[in-house]
Amino acid sequence: MVYCPLRKHSQQKGSAAILAVFVMALLGTIGTAYIALSSTEMKTATSFRDGVAAQCFAEAGTKLAMLKLSQNPGWIPSPSPFVENLGTIPTAGRYEVTVANNGGNKRTVTSIGIVNKARRQVVLVLDTGVPTVSPATILSWNNY
């Protein structure tokens, strides 16, 4: 009989296969966790981008109202100005402006910027009795 060390049988037969299955399951779990994490990060970044774009649309609406009110202090939009940025860019959106007469020369301008699901509101109180409406007028931002 010839001695062959490769034919030696032991009690650990099949343990390498079990260990390999365990390691593959562990790697699969880690991979799934990384996919979920990157998906959450993408949603967070998209939401932030949309919020910034909506804020820009809302501010653009207030600038339009400031311009119109500087040209005509009695300007009240009817119906509300509605501007839409159509296109294929991800931040396509719109703004809606309303102007309320507070009596006398006071006007409250409310502009809502909308991009996808993000909405930002800018409220501006103007005194149209001054000769010009300055862009340095104090703005107050309200997110909702």
Mean pLDDT for the stretch of residues 120-124: 93
pLDDT of residue 51: 94
Q: What is the residue extent of each domain of the chain?
A: 14-143
Buried b or exposed e, range 83-107, using 16+ CB within 10 angstroms: eeeeeeeebebbbbbbbeeeeeeeb
Which of 43-52, 90-99, 111-120 has the least mean pLDDT? 90-99
pLDDT digits (tens, 9 = 90+) for 37-71: 999 999 999 999 999 999 998 998 899 888 888 88
| Cα–Cα distance measured from residue 70 to residue 65, given in angstroms and rounded to the nearest whole number | 8
pLDDT of residue 110: 92
pLDDT of residue 15: 80
Residue 141 has pLDDT above 50, yes or no: no
- Confidence band (pLDDT; 50, 70, 90) for 133? very low
Mean pLDDT for the stretch of residues 79-95: 74
Residue linked to tokens 């501010």: 59
* Cβ(97)–Cβ(61) below 8 Å: yes
